[in-house]
Amino acid sequence: MTSATAIAHPNIALIKYWGKADETLSLPATGSLSMTLDVFPTRTTVTVDDTARDTLQLNGRAATEGELARVTKFLDLVRELAGDTRPAAVVSENTVPTGAGLASSASGFAALATAAAATYGLDLDTRDLSRLARRGSGSASRSIPGGVAIWHAGDDAASFSETVAAPPLAMVIATVDAGEKPISSREAMRRTIATSPFFPAWIPSTAASLELMVAACAAGDVTRIGELTESNALRMHAVIQGSEPPIRYLTAASTRVFDAVAGMRAHGLEAYATADAGPNVVVLTRPEDAAAVAATLTAEAGIAEPVIALPGPGAYLVDG
Ligand code: 2P0
């Protein structure tokens, strides 16, 4: 095939990935677990080309040298596996509204891995595709399988993602600030490992929470899934805030959303908050409660347009 197009969706972690055990192989310090969303897909086409070097177009504009370098580094890995040296033209359209504040590296590298593997003739199953996507961005590994996915820690062969059994879940995305994050998660992870005295505790604590989360998912226990989700998110932010110089992603507006979510629970509406490397908050709930959660976020925390997401599909190829 000289051209292939793939679609992948973002994922939000219930048990977070924060910190690498190996930078080169992109191996995580701990396993993590996420829900891939059914909103905001990335669509990427990879075409082998006769030009001198790779090209990259993102949302209709030429990529920066930095963006292109990261994609070329990833394509070099694909080309090495395929025994092919030809450059490629990559065209990627990301439908995350700029205002949504959701990172696009997970859906972006999941779509790129899927399209590039097909274009260069690699015949990879879901496990090996998730290992490949991991090399582009750790969290992209989890956007290869669909629904709720665990990404295993381990060596290169063992660190893959797969779907796990889970009850029906929904997420409500509360955008409090659409601006650029102050420091990339990649850089912030490095600083956390190097300077946060809490990082050594994060590793066994997250491993234990992951085991409890897998059990809660298998048991269909939404309450326990929610409790574990919120506590793991707050622990991650505590570890990050312990860095030197400190890194603080949560703002006063984020805290207002966490308060609103606690208020929902106090009134019998089950909802649990999580947040990634930025101020935006994502609220986990049951699908039948998602509309009530969204309405309460607007009324109580001033969230203009909460977005409701259900579990989405894994990455897949489409006709270009
Ligand atoms: C996660 N995050 O589990 C965590 C929670 C952000 C906060 O995965 O360096 O963009 O490309 O492997 O995958 C963000 O990390 O980092 C992330 P790299 P990535 O979703």
What's the pLDDT tens digit per position in 167-198? 999 999 999 876 666 788 999 999 999 999 99
Residues 36 and 91 in one domain: yes
Is 151 domain-assigned?
Answer: yes
Nearest residue by C-alpha to atom 8 in ligand 1? 139
Q: How far apart are CA 255 and CA 272, in angstroms?
A: 13
Q: Residues 6 or more apart from 180 whose CB is under 8 A from it? A: none
- Does pLDDT of 98 surpass 80? no
Q: Which domain holds residue 293?
A: 170-309
Distances (CA, A) of 292 to 172, 283, 296, 304: 10, 12, 6, 14
Residues 151 and 189 in one domain: no
CB 32 less than 6 A from any atom of ligand 1 = yes
Is 204 domain-assigned?
Answer: yes
Residues 175 and 301 in one domain: yes
Is 320 domain-assigned?
Answer: no
**Nearest alpha carbon to residue 194 among 17, 19, 15, 16:** 19
Residues 207 and 105 in one domain: no
- From 146, 167, 188, the end of a domain falls on 167
Residues 274 and 290 in one domain: yes
- From 167, 188, 206, the end of a domain falls on 167
Residue 137 DSSP symbol: -
- Does pLDDT of 49 surpass 90? no
Residue 311 DSSP symbol: B
Q: What is the predicted pLDDT for the residue at 182?
A: 76
Q: What is the predicted pLDDT for the residue at 103?
A: 75
Give the count of domains, the chain: 2
If you measure from the C-alpha of residue 38 to the centroid of ligand 1, how many angstroms do you get, rounded to a whole number?
A: 19
- In the chain, what percentage of residues exceed pLDDT 90? 92
Residues 130 and 9 in one domain: yes
Q: How far apart are CA 109 and CA 88, in angstroms?
A: 15
If you measure from the C-alpha of residue 62 to the centroid of ligand 1, how many angstroms do you get, rounded to a whole number?
A: 25
Report pTM: 0.97
Residues 162 and 178 in one domain: no
State pLDDT tens for residues 274-292: 999 999 999 999 999 999 9
Is 219 domain-assigned?
Answer: yes
Residues 63 and 179 in one domain: no
Q: How far apart are CA 151 and CA 27, in angstroms?
A: 10
Is 253 domain-assigned?
Answer: yes
**Nearest alpha carbon to residue 176 among 252, 232, 263:** 252
Residues 84 and 206 in one domain: no
Q: How far apart are CA 315 and CA 142, in angstroms?
A: 10
Q: What is the largest CA-CA distance in the chain?
A: 62
For residue 42, is it left (φ>0), alpha (ψ between -120 and 50) or beta?
A: beta
State pLDDT tens for residues 124-173: 999 999 999 999 999 999 999 999 999 999 999 999 999 999 999 999 99
Residues 261 and 132 in one domain: no
CB 109 less than 6 A from any atom of ligand 1 = no
Q: What is the predicted pLDDT for the residue at 233?
A: 98
Average pLDDT of the segment spanning 31-38 = 98
The pLDDT mean for the chain works out to 95
Is 318 domain-assigned?
Answer: no
Distances (CA, A) of 37 to 5, 111, 137, 271: 19, 14, 17, 17
Q: What is the predicted pLDDT for the residue at 102?
A: 77
State pLDDT tens for residues 250-270: 999 999 999 999 999 999 999
Residues 106 and 205 in one domain: no
Kindly report the number of other CB atoms within 10 A of residue 100's CB atom: 18
Q: What is the position in ligand 1's atom list of the atom closest to the CA of 26?
A: 12
If you measure from the C-alpha of residue 274 to the centroid of ligand 1, how many angstroms do you get, rounded to a whole number?
A: 14
Q: What is the predicted pLDDT for the residue at 99?
A: 58
* Helices 105-119 and 126-136, axial angle in degrees (round to 10): 120
State pLDDT tens for residues 240-252: 999 999 999 999 9
The CATH number assigned to the domain holding 115 equals 3.30.230.10
What does residue 236 show for φ and ψ, rounded to 5 degrees? -60, -45
Amino acid identity of residue 169, one-letter, is: L
If you measure from the C-alpha of residue 52 to the centroid of ligand 1, how many angstroms do you get, rounded to a whole number?
A: 32
* Helix intervals (H) in 60-198: 65-82, 105-119, 126-136, 185-195
- From 167, 193, 210, the end of a domain falls on 167
Residues 249 and 119 in one domain: no
Q: What is the predicted pLDDT for the residue at 262?
A: 98
Chain position carrying tokens 């990259």:
56
Is 316 domain-assigned?
Answer: no
The CATH number assigned to the domain holding 224 equals 3.30.70.890
